[in-house]
Structures are given as C-alpha cells and as structure tokens.
Amino acid sequence: MVAEVADDVIAEPVPCVRCSSGALLTIVGRCADCIADMGLNHPGEREAWRAEVTAAIEGRSG
Ligand SMILES: [Zn+2]
C-alpha cells in the first residue's frame, strides 16, 4: 500500500491563542508547545485549558 495524499486536505498553520505563533495542530487554540509549557510551568492555566477541552468535546457530542 502506498500512502495517499489527499489534495483536499489543506494543513494551514493556525495562530495559537496563547503565543500567537502558527501551529499545524492546536487543541482549543493552544499549540503543542504551549500545552507542554502549561503542563510544566503553569498548572493553573493548564487546568483552565483542560476545562475548555472538556467543554469543547461535550459541545460536539451533544
Ligand atoms: Zn502556543
């Protein structure tokens, strides 16, 4: 099998709401760097972000 490249999938960098740098993957607006930084240095901010993640998932499912 050869991996197919879907032409209609466009990966555009999305600006992170926290550090404003473009990231191909963000979770509720935060890039992977910020998620890691929050986990290491900003536990309170991480808790708030996790609550947003939970709310986003619950919002999508129903
Ligand atoms: Zn960021």
Q: What is the pLDDT of residues 1-13, one digit of tens each?
A: 666 665 666 678 9
Question: Ligand 1: distance of its center to the CA of 28 in Å?
Answer: 11
Non-local CB neighbours of 40 within 8 Å, separated by 6+ positions? none
Enumerate the domain spans of the chain: 32-62
Question: Ligand 1: distance of its center to the CA of 34 in Å?
Answer: 4
Q: Which pair of structure tokens corresponds to residue 12? A: 């555009």
pLDDT of residue 26: 94
pLDDT tens column, 18-48: 999 999 999 999 999 999 999 999 999 999 9
pTM, two decimal places: 0.74
Question: Ligand 1: distance of its center to the CA of 58 in Å?
Answer: 23
Question: Ligand 1: distance of its center to the CA of 2 in Å?
Answer: 34
As a whole number of angstroms, the distance between CA 42 and CA 4 comes to: 40
Residue in the structure block whose two tokens are 């099998």: 1
Question: Ligand 1: distance of its center to the CA of 22 in Å?
Answer: 8
